[in-house]
Amino acid sequence: MLRLLALLSLAGIVTGSLLVVLAAAERHSFLSPTSRHGFPGWMSGPLSGLLPSLTHDTHTLKVEFTVAVAGMYLLYVIVVLLARALTTRSVLIAIGAVHLIFFLSPPLPLTDIFNYVNYAHMGALHGLNPYVHVPVLNRADPVYRLTTWHHLRSPYGPLFTLGTYALAPVRVPVAYWLFKGAVACASLGCLALVWGCARMVGRSPRAAVAFVGLNPLFIVYGLGGQHNDVFMMLLVLAGAYLVLRRRDALGGGALAAAVAVKASAGVLLPIVLLGARSRLRAAAGIAAGGALALALTLAAFGPHLPNDAAQSKLVVPFGLVNDLGLAIGAGGVTAQIRHALEAMLVVGVLIACVFASRRGPEAAPRRDWLVAAGAVSLLLALTLSWVMPWYVFWALPFAALVRTPGLRAAVLVFGVTLLLTWLPLGQDLGHQVLHLHPARTSVGKKNSAYVHRLLR
């Protein structure tokens, strides 16, 4: 009976994924924001036109999308709880199916894929440094009309940015599909590394990859939105795998490369360093990787770094941090709240470092650093004012690998808060039931104006 329930839940996740993609591919809607400029076949994908009965009423579509994704999350929790009842084959088939479905999908909500391509065009084709110049200067480029951040200098890491330069010589539709393919491959690579790590730490590989690879927030918003976090996490997990294999120098180098893809990985550097068997070798690997990344940055972009400072000031109206500001009467996220959260993150990293530094007999490394890494990744997401739904992927692999169920439970609860933040009916709940109106306060108006200033 339990096995049947687990199999039906797997099937439900795959079916829900297909319905979301079919709805997004059918016609222009909020499900695929870039379709507002036209919905050519190369963007809508091969699944367009297969759901002609899709409602034309926006509110109804928002309800259906909310029910579909929330239902998928409930089924995902069932799969996580009943993973032992599933076969490895059934889990891998489901993971393969959702990856194929979202590879064929049009860009889903909150996608940045065309921003990536535009920054690549700026640097590779037009001689504009994406760390110095704003995208609006590239408005004559054909990809510009599909972008969103028109006045935001690139916040993306130099290694990722240079990698996207390979997309610049080809036409936009080709670049689009090449990048989608790269995202799918990187995601599957992450899952392969989770599988390998799980075997080394004595966790069920089947349960671990199900926990990571079937999370609806990751597959709908991360895979569907084609976001670059999978490249960062591919290097993070490669580093974790190498450290578990006692290849500490290579592991440290992989972590340094992850930071050069996206700065968010930086919080993991001290934890992995302290968790390595040979801290000296890990430090050497981090130093070598960092030096190489710095040299590439100087050669390609000069003495300029990604614009993380501007992005860190953005605020999600119904995010947990902004809700905290509303709850304490501050009107939303203020500079003081942001500083307090940054201090909280620093303290959390220090505590995690102490936890990760513990050693077992004969100086053999314990795997406590995996718990510390997962906790810090989760804390980082919790303290951001600009938290995206796919950021849950930062903590998912580590939570999947540890024996302690508490971290997995915390990640699942965090996922629920992200659903309430980002699903259309979750926002309606904030407005109509909880009477939260983040854009009406003076702080909220200022935060909203800052976002729109970068978008205009």
pLDDT over 80 (residue 368): yes
Q: How many CA atoms lie within 13 A of 83 on its CB side?
A: 20
* Whole-angstrom distance, CA of residue 55 vs CA of residue 87: 37
> Residue 327's pLDDT band (boundaries 50, 70, 90)?
confident
Q: Any bridge partners for residue 17, and if so which?
A: none
* Whole-angstrom distance, CA of residue 49 vs CA of residue 397: 36
Among 209, 204, 220, 225, CA closest to 13: 220
More confident residue, 407 or 324: 407
State both tokens at 344: 């909280």
* Whole-angstrom distance, CA of residue 94 vs CA of residue 100: 10
* Whole-angstrom distance, CA of residue 404 vs CA of residue 6: 22
Domain segments of the chain as ranges: 2-455
Predicted confidence (pLDDT) per residue in 383-416, tens digit: 999 999 999 999 999 999 999 899 999 999 999 9
What is each CA distance from 354 to 186, 216, 397, in whole angstroms?
32, 33, 21
Among 167, 156, 168, CA closest to 227: 156
Predicted confidence (pLDDT) per residue in 102-131, tens digit: 999 999 987 799 999 999 999 999 999 999
Q: Any bridge partners for residue 365, and if so which?
A: 359
> Residue 363's pLDDT band (boundaries 50, 70, 90)?
very low
The residues, any chain, with a CB within 8 Å of residue 336's CB and separated by 6 or more, are: 330
395: phi then psi, degrees, rounded to nearest 5: -100, -20
- Per the prediction, the chain carries an average pLDDT of 93
**What was the pLDDT predicted at 360?**
56
Helix spans in 262-278 (H): 269-275
pLDDT over 50 (residue 21): yes
